[in-house]
Structure 1
Amino acid sequence: MILSERTSILKSIGPKRETKLKEAGIYNIYDLINYFPRTYINYENVMNINQIAVDSKAVIKGTVLAYKEKKLKRHLKLLTITTLFVENGLEVQRDISKFYNTYHKVSLIVGKEYFFYGTAKLFRGKKAFTAEEIVETKTKKLIRPVYSVIGKGRAQLGQNFWEKSIQEALIYANEQISNKGSMYSLYHNLTQELELLPLTKAYVGIHIPKNISELNAAVITIKHWEAFKAKIDASISRTNRLKKQCDISVQEKGIELVKNAISNLPFALRDSQIKALAEIQKDMCSPYQMYRLLQGDVGSGKTVVAILAMLQSIGSGLQAAMMVPTEMLASQHIKAAEKIFKDLGKKVYLLTSSTENSVRKEILAKLKTKEPIALIGTHALLQEDVIFSDLGLIVIDEQHKFGVKQRETLMQKKHLVDTLYMSATPIPRTMAFAIYRELDISTLEASSRVGKVKSYFVPEYKKTDLYNYLKVELEQENQAYVICPSIENTHSDNNESSPMVAVLNLKSELEEIFKDFNVVAIHGKLKENEKHEIMTKFNEGEIDLLVATSLVEVGIHNPNANILVINNCERFGLSQLHQFRGRVGRGKEKAQCFLMGNITGELAKQRIKFFLETDDGSKLAEYDFKLRGAGELSGVKQHGKSEFRILNPVEDKEIFNNVIDFIEKERI
C-alpha cells in the first residue's frame, strides 16, 4: 500500500508524538492525511453578536482596545478582551472572554483588528461572547480547519500540530501518488470521467481550502475515492480468495438430490428462492470457496434455501453444518430439515449444550467416519472435540449474533470450506457493499405476509384499554406475546425516565389482570428442557399469553399467535423490533403489533413513527444504518473503525452507484 510509511518519517513527528498518534488509530501517512477536520471556521461569514442565537457558534470581527488576564485554577486563565465592533454603522464596545492554559502565551496587539470565532452566551440577561479561536483579519486562510484535539496539557496534539504535520504529510503524499500507478492511476480515470479533482488536490482542498467551493469539490472527490478504494480492496480480496481452491471436491453430485427434495416440497419455491439457490449451487460446484450472504426479510424463506444447500453437500458425499445462536432456533430448523430429509433417506442431527452425552458421542463418531450427515447446532459446534472429517458446507444463521472470532472458529474446522451466511436484515446494494464488502450476495424477495401486521404505539395512559382489547382477542382463542427487555428488576438501571419492564415482574401483574387465561413466562435463565416444554405448549395452544425476553426474537413459528406487545420499545433497534414483529402474522388472520415505552425527543419520535409506517425490512435497515452505523447492524465487522471517514452509504447512494458502475464498465 502506498503511504503506509510510519508517521515518524515526517520532521514534525518524533517518537512521543508517533505513540500518541498510534493510540488514536493513526499508524501511517495515509491515516494522517485521512484525519479530516471535524469542522471549519469560515472567516468570510462575519456576524454581529446580536444576530447570533444563544449557544450557537459564529465569527465576529473587532479591534482590540485592551485585555487583562485572571488566573482561575492552577493551569487555567481567563482572558477578557475589550474590543471595538462596528454594528449597523455604529461603534460598539464589548468584552470578549477566552479561556486558555497558563503555558499558552497571549499574542494580541492593541489596535489591531481580529476575527473571533466562538459561542454566543446569555450572561445576566445580556448577550456575551466566548472565543475559541482568535486570528488577525490579515490572514490569508479565510477557511480554517478545526481538528479534534488529542491528549491534554503540554503533550496535547492541538490545532498547530495538526496543521503543520498534515501539511508536511500532504507534500510527501503528493510525491508518492504522482510517482506510482496502481489504484491511484485507475482512480484518475474515474476523476476525469466524472470531472472530479485530482486526488492530491482534493486532499489539499479538504485540509487547506481556499474557499467554500474548493472545499465542497474536495469533499465530493474524497467521497468517491473512499467508495472506489473500498470496492477495489474488496475485489482484490475476492480475487485472491478465488485463486485458492477448496479443500473439498466440487459438489455437483448433490444436484439431483436437491431436485428430488424440491419436487417433494408441499409448496412451490418463489422465483427469488430459485434464483438464490441457483447462485449457491453454482458456487458449490466451483472448485473455489463460496463466501456468500443469503439475505431476506422475515418469512422470506431463507431456511429452506439453506437446508437445500446442505442437502447438496450431503448428496455429494460430504458433511454440512449450520450454526444458529439459540437452541430454540436450532430446534425450529431441525424440524424443518427433518421434513425435507426424511423422504430422501438422509440424516440430520441436532447438537447443543443440552444434547445427551450418549447422543453427542454418536454424532461425533459419525463425523469422524466421513458419513455424509447434516448437523444443526448452537455454539456447541465450536467445541474442540467436534471434528468434521469431510466438511463441505458451513451455514451461519443470524450471523450478526455471533462474534467475529466465533464465526472464524467454525470456519477453521475445515480450511477454505464453502460458507453461507444468513441475515434477516435485507439491505440495498450500496449498503450491502459498504457492510459486507467481499461477500457475494443473494437476496430473497419479501413474502406475501408483508402488510398483514398493523403496528400501533400505545401511550401509558391507554394501557388499560390495550389489556381490555387483549382479553377480547384471547377469548376468541387467539394467542399473544408480551416482550420485555429484561428478566427481572435489578435496580441497576439509572435511567429513571424509562424504567425497565421485566418479564418476571410483568408476569405477576398480568396473572392478576388475565385471571381466566394461562400466562407463562419464558427467558434465558430457564433450563433448555423447560423452554422446550413451554414453547411446545404455546404452539399447541395451551398457553394464552407468553411473556418473554428477546429469546423469542427468532426461531418461533406459531400461526395462531396474532398479537404482539413490546414494552420499552425505545430500548430496541428498528431491525430487532421488526424481527419481533415477524413472530406474528404467520397464519391466515391479520395480526397486530403494539409498542409501549417512554418516547422522548424528536429523533426518538421520528424513529418510532417510521417503524409504525414501514413493514419493509430493507427500508428499516437503511434507517437503522443511518442512526446506528454498520457495525451494530451487520455484526460482520465488530471491531476497528469504519473505513469511511466522510462517506455515508445511505446519503451518498449516487456516489456509490457511480463508482460501482464505473468499475463494472471498466471490468476492473
Structure 2
Amino acid sequence: MSLDWPRLQRALAIETERGFCNLQGNTYRFNEYLHQALTQAPLQQLPPQVRDRWQETAAAYARYDDLSPSQRQHLVVTTRQLLHDVHQQLTRSAPRPRPLDQGLKTLHGIGEQLRCVVGDRTAAQLAKLGLYTVADLIYYFPRDHIDYARQVPIRQLQAGETVTLVGQVRRCKCFTSPRNAKLTILEIILQDRTGQIRLTRFYAGARYAQRGWQEQQKRLYAPQTLVAASGLVKQTKYGLTLEEPELEVLEHPGAEIDSLTIGRIVPIYPLTEGVSPDVIRRAVARVLPLVQGYPDPLPQALCQHHQLIPLDTALRYIHFPPDQTQLSLARRRLIFDEFFYLQLGLLQRRRQQQQQVSVPLKPQGELIEQFYQRLPFQLTGAQQRVVAEILADLERPIPMNRLLQGDVGSGKTVVAVIALLAAVQSGYQGALMAPTEVLAEQHYRKLFEWLTPLHVPVELLTGSVRTAKRRQILDQLATGELPVLVGTHALIQEGVRFQRLGLVVIDEQHRFGVAQRAKLQAKGVLPHVLTMTATPIPRTLALTLHGDLEVSQIDELPPGRRPIQTTILGRGDRCCAYDLIRREVAQGRQAYIILPLVEESEKLDLKSAIAEHQRLQTEIFPNFRVGLLHGRMASSEKDATIQAFAQGELDILVATTVVEVGVDVPNATVMLIEHAERFGLSQLHQLRGRVGRGAQQSYCLLLLNSARNDAAKQRLNVLAQSQDGFFIAEMDLRLRGPGEVLGTRQSGLPDFALASLVEDQDCLEAARSAASELIAQDPELRNYPLLQAVLQQRRDRLLETMMN
C-alpha cells in the first residue's frame, strides 16, 4: 500500500502527547490529515477482515471535533493498534531479513513482538503507549530518574532529599479510612539505631478495603521485620517522613535489595491512563537482556575519539543505571546518536544537492548596475557581503540552497531583488512567495517601485486576485512575458506554470512546510532557492533545522536607525502609556496597540481586540481615529485597514499579532503591547520592529497585566536592554525552549527523545563535527554498512517532521 505508515503513527503519537487537542499542522488539522489518509487508502489491498473497521475509523475522524477528550483518546489508541496490526499482516510475506538486518530491526525497526516476551496482558497495556515491539520499549526512554541509591541513617534525614532507609518495623497498622470507605491506610513505624520514622502509604480501591488484604499487610510488615524504604524526605506536622515510600522486606541485615525501585536510581517514564510505572519497569527489565552484545553502528575510532560508551551499554544504563556517572555516560551516548544521525542525514542531503546540475546565472549585468544607480541609499557592509555570497552561488552550475537571516529592518528585500534581477538578466523568471497576503502585497509594492523603472514587469498572485486578472497573469507567466511573480500559497497551485523558472525566493520560510516549498521549486528544473527569515535563529536551531543549507546573516542595520526605547510597565502605568500615545499622535505620528486575543475568552483573563477597540475609541481616544485589525477579518477588510493606516487615515491601530510581519508604516512611533508576559521574546522583538522604521524616536511599551510579574519582568528585561535579535533569540531559546521560540505551529523541529537544544549544545557541535569528518572520508558510507542501514531507518523518523 502507498500509506506512509511511520508518518501516520507519528501524527497519532504527537496528538497523544498534546492531549488530543486536534493539533493544527502546516497544511491540515490532525483529524483532517487522518481522515484524508485513511479514506484514500486502497481498500482492495487491505486484509478483508479489517476493511469495515478501517472505513469506520476513517469516518470517525470526520467527527473528531464533536468527540469528548476520552472518546478522542479511545479513537487514537484503537487507530494506532489497527495501523500496527494491518501493517504487520501486509509485511508478513516480505523476504526473511539477513542476520545483520534482523539485528538492526530488533533495535531500530519492527523487531520482536512484545507479547512474545512480556505476555499478552502486559503487551496490551503497553500498546496504550504505542509500544508494540521490543525496539519500541527499549527506545521508550525515561523522562527523568529519581536517585534512591543513597542509604542514610534516620537521624541524618533532611527534607527535600531522595534516600533509602533500612530499619526494623516497630509497629504496623493497616485500616480503612474513617472518612472514605474506599481508601486504605498503611502506617509503619520504622526504626534503626539512630532513630525512628513514621511511614504512610495510601491505597484507593475496594479490594484494598477488604479485611483479608489488610491482615496480609500486617503479617508482611510484622514487628522486627527488616524493611528497606525509598522516597522523598518530606517535613510534616508529625516530623520527617517519606512521601509515598517504596517498601521491600529484606531477609537479613546486609541482604541485597532486589527491587526495581528501592535502593537504586529509578527510571520515571511518561504514562497514560491504565498503565502503571511498575508495568513499564518490569517490562523493560524483561527485554533489556536482549540488547546485550548487539553490534554498535558507530565506528570504534569515532566512539573512542568522542569518549562514547558502547550502544548496548548505553541502552541498558539509560533505563537502570548503576550510578549517576553511568547514567550521564549513557545519556551522552544516546544524545550524541540523536544529533549524529540527524546531522549525517542533513550533510548527505546537502552533498546530493551539490551534485545536481542547475543553470548558472549572470552575477554581472546592466539590470543590476542600473538598480544600484537608482537606489537612494548605499548597501550596508553586511548587505554587500551577503549579496556577494548569493551571486557567487548563482554563478555556479549547481542549485543554490541558501538561508538568509536578517533582523527586522536589516534590508533583506533589497538583497532578494538583486538576486531576482540576476535571474531576469540571464533570461530566466523569478518567484517570491510569502506566507500572508499582507506580506506578499508589501513585497509587491516594493518590487513594483524598484523594477518598473528598469522595465521589468512584476505581478501579484494571491487568493484575492480576480479571475480575469489571474488568467492574464498565468498566460503571461507561461509565455515568459512575465519575468517576476510575487504571491502567497497561490503560487504552488497546479495551474501556475512558469516558462523558465530560475530562482525561487521564499520569505518567512519557517511558515511553510518543506513539501510546500518543494512544490514551488518543482515549477522549474532545479531552480536556485533563496529562503529568508526575519526571525533570528540561534546556531543550535539553525544546525538542526537547516543543517543542509548554506546560511548568510545580515547582522547590521542601515545607518541612521535610532534604537527603540523599550519600557516595561505594570498595570498601574497604563495611563502613562496612553499619555505617550496622545503626545505622539498630536505631533502627527501613529501608534499600535497589540492584544493577544480576538474575542473574549472564558478561560483566559486576556483583553479582547474587538471589545478593547470599542473601549479605546469611545472612552480613551474619542478624538482620534482608531482602527481594528485581526486575523479573522476578510482579506479585503484587512487590506483596507492596513492601507488606511499606511496612508495616515488612522491614528491608532488596535491589532493582534497579525501585524508581526508585513506592515511597514515609517510614521508609526509607538507600540503598546498588552499582556506582554504572554509573548516570547522573539515574537515581541518582531512586533517591536513595526516601529522605529522612520527617522523619529520610537517607543515600545511592554505592559504586564499579571499581579505576580517578577519572573516575567526579569525575562522581558532582556528585550529592554538589547536590540540584537540574535542575542534575544538565543536568550528566548534558553528561557522557553525551541518549540516555543519557533511557534507552536512550527513543524520543522525534529522530535528528540533525550536531546535538548538548550542544554546539549556541545554534544550537537561534536556530533556535527563527527558527521562532517565521516562524510568527507566516505560520502556513501560504503565502509560502514551497519551505520548506513541504521541511518536509512532513522532518516524517516528523525527527518520526518522536517518534511511536513
- TM class by shorter chain equals 0.7 to 0.9
- Is residue 338 of structure 2 the alignment partner of residue 226 of structure 1? yes
More displaced stretch, 266-275 vs 321-330: 266-275
- What percentage of residue pairs aligned between the two structures are identical? 32
- 1:527-577 residue CA offsets vs partner (Å, 9 max, x unmatched): 444444443443343432222222221122222211110112233222111
Contact 2:309 / 2:329 at 8 angstroms: preserved in 1?
yes
Relative to 1, partners in 2 of residues 1:450 and 1:264: Cα closer, same or farther, differing over 3 Å? closer
2:294 equivalent to 1:175: yes
Name the aligned partner's letter for residue 453 of structure 1. Answer: I
Question: Could you tell me which of 202, 214, 237 is aligned with 2:314?
Answer: 202
Residue 733 of structure 2 corresponds to which residue in structure 1?
625
8 Å CA contact 2:340–2:770 kept in 1: the answer is no
- What is residue 280 of structure 1 aligned with on the other side? 390
* More moved, 369-378 vs 638-647: 638-647
CA deviation map 1:374-403 (0-9, x unaligned): 111123223332233432222221123335
- In structure 2, how many angstroms separate the alpha carbons of the residues matched to 1:640 and 1:535? 30
Give yes or no for the alignment of 1:608 onto 2:716. Answer: yes
Higher strand share: 1
What secondary structure, in the 3-state scheme, does the structure 2 residue paired with 1:493 have?
coil
**Structure 2 residue 500 is the aligned partner of structure 1 residue 394:** no
Alignment partners' CA distance in 2, 1:254 and 1:169:
63
For residues 250 and 33 of structure 1, the distance between their equivalents in structure 2, rounded to whole angstroms, comes to 50
Partners of 1:485 and 1:636 in 2: CA distance: 15
- Aligned counterparts, 1:579-594, within 5 A: 579-594=686-701
Determine the structure 2 residue equivalent to 1:271: 381
Contact 1:349 1:363 in 2 (8 A): yes
- TM (normalized to structure 2)? 0.72
More displaced stretch, 123-132 vs 451-460: 123-132
Please state how far the C-alpha of 1:454 moved relative to its aligned partner.
1.6
Pair 66,409 (structure 1): closer, same or farther in 2 beyond 3 Å: farther
Write the distance in 2 (CA, Å) between the matches of 1:530 and 1:194: 59
Aligned in 2, Cα 1:31/1:607: closer, same or farther, shift over 3 Å?
Answer: farther
1:648 partnered with 2:759: no
Q: List alignment gaps of at least 5 residues for structure 1.
A: none
Alignment correspondent of 2:228: 115
Q: Following the alignment from structure 2 to structure 1, what is the Cα–Cα distance between the partners of residues 111 and 555?
A: 49
Q: Which residue of 2 aligns with 1:551?
A: 658
Residue 337 of structure 1: CA displacement?
Answer: 1.2
Does residue 1:351 correspond to 2:461, yes or no?
yes
Residues 1:320 and 2:430 aligned together: yes
How many residues align? The count is 650
Tell me the distance in 2 between the aligned counterparts of 1:565 and 1:238: 43
Q: AA paired with 2:729?
A: A
Partner of 2:117 in structure 1? 12
Determine which of 121, 138, 142 is the counterpart of 2:256: 138
The 3 A distance-change label for structure 1 pair 14 and 634 is farther
Once residues 146 and 433 of structure 1 are traced to their aligned partners in structure 2, the CA distance between those partners, rounded to angstroms, is 31
For the 8 Å contact 2:186–2:202, the answer to whether it is kept is yes
Provide the residue aligned with 1:161 in structure 2.
Answer: 282
Query: In structure 2, what is the Cα distance between the partners aligned to 1:349 and 1:70?
Result: 81
TM-aligned CA distance change 1:277 to 1:76, over 3 Å: farther
Question: Pick from 454, 468, 471: which aligns with 1:361?
Answer: 471
Which residue is 2:629 aligned to?
Answer: 522
Q: Is 1:502 matched up with 2:609?
A: yes
Looking at structure 1, the residues matched to 345 and 131 of structure 2 have their Cα atoms a distance apart, in angstroms, of 20
Indicate whether 1:293 and 2:403 are aligned: yes
1:189-268 equivalences in 2 (<5 Å)? 189-245=301-357, 249-252=359-362, 257-268=367-378
CA contact (8 A) 2:591 2:670 kept: yes
1:133 match: secondary structure: strand
SS across alignment from 1:588: coil
Q: Distance in 2 between matches of 1:427 and 1:513?
A: 39
Distance 1:97 1:621, change over 3 A: same
Q: What one-letter code is carried by the residue in structure 2 that aligns with 1:660?
A: R
Q: Given the superposition, is the C-alpha separation of residues 225 and 76 from structure 1 closer, same or farther in structure 2, using an over 3 Å criterion?
A: farther
1:82 maps onto 2:188 in alignment = yes
Q: C-alpha distance in 1, partners of 2:579/2:131?
A: 59
Amino acid at match of 1:201: T
CA contact (8 A) 2:461 2:491 kept: yes
User: Could you say which residue in structure 1 is the equivalent of 2:563?
Assistant: 452
1:576 maps to 2:662: no
Name the stretch that deviates more: 562-571 or 206-215.
206-215
Please report how far the alpha carbon of residue 216 of structure 1 lies from its aligned counterpart in structure 2 after TM superposition: 2.3
Could you tell me whether the CA contact under 8 Å between 1:32 and 1:169 is conserved in 2? no
Question: How much has 1:582 moved relative to structure 2?
Answer: 0.2
Q: Distance in 2 between matches of 1:455 and 1:568?
A: 15
The answer to whether the 8 A contact 2:458-2:484 is kept is yes
Bigger Cα displacement from structure 2, 20-29 vs 542-551 = 20-29
Q: CA deviation at 1:500?
A: 2.4
Q: Deviations over 1:79-126 (max 9, x none)?
A: 51423233xx54325242143775999795644433323345666665
**Distance in 2, Cα, partners of 1:109 & 1:415:** 77
Separation (CA, whole Å) in 1 of partners of 2:494 and 2:423? 23
Equivalent-residue separation in structure 2 for 1:237 and 1:302 (angstroms):
26
Whichever residue aligns with residue 149 of structure 2, its letter is E
Shift in Å at residue 578 of structure 1? 0.7
Q: For residues 390 and 29 of structure 1, what CA distance do their matches in structure 2 show?
A: 52
Which residue of 1 is the match for residue 20 of structure 2?
Answer: none
Deviates more, 1:616-625 or 1:572-581: 616-625
- In the alignment, the residues of structure 2 paired with residue 49 and residue 513 of structure 1 have an alpha-carbon distance, to the nearest angstrom, of 65
Tell me whether 21-30 or 626-635 shows the greater mean CA deviation. Answer: 21-30
Deviations 1:200-221, CA, capped at 9 Å, x for gaps = 4333333332222222233333
Partner AA of 1:592 in structure 2: Y
Cα 1:621–1:108 change in 2 (3 A) is farther
Query: Can you list the C-alpha shifts for 1:298-328, whole angstroms capped at 9, x where unaligned?
Result: 1111111222222222223222222212222
Q: Distance in 1 between matches of 2:128 and 2:353?
A: 32
* Cα offset, 1:6, TM superposition: 1.8
Matched to 1:560, the amino acid is N
Counterpart in 2 of 1:147? 268
SS at match of 2:732: helix
Provide the aligned C-alpha RMSD in A. Answer: 3.6
Which piece of structure 1 moves more, 146-155 or 543-552? 146-155
Letter of the aligned partner of 1:203 in structure 2? L
1:36 corresponding residue in structure 2? 141
User: Residues of 2 paired with 1:283 and 1:125: CA distance?
Assistant: 74
**Residues in 1 aligned to 2:668 and 2:275: alpha-carbon distance in whole angstroms:** 64
Q: Select 2:703's aligned residue among 596, 602, 616.
A: 596
Whether the 8 Å CA contact 1:64–1:83 is kept in 2: the answer is yes
Distance change in 2, residues 1:234/1:450 (3 Å):
farther
Say whether the 8 Å CA contact 1:41–1:117 is kept in structure 2.
no
Greater shift, 282-291 or 36-45, is seen at 282-291
Note if contact 1:387-1:413 (Cα within 8 Å) is conserved in structure 2: yes
Deviation at 1:32, TM superposition (A): 4.0
Q: Give the TM-score normalised by the residue count of structure 1.
A: 0.86
- Checking the alignment, whether the CA contact within 8 Å between 1:493 and 1:500 is kept in structure 2 is no
Letter of the structure 1 residue corresponding to residue 594 of structure 2:
I
Q: Which amino acid counterpart does residue 494 of structure 1 have in structure 2?
A: K
1:334 aligns with 2:444: yes
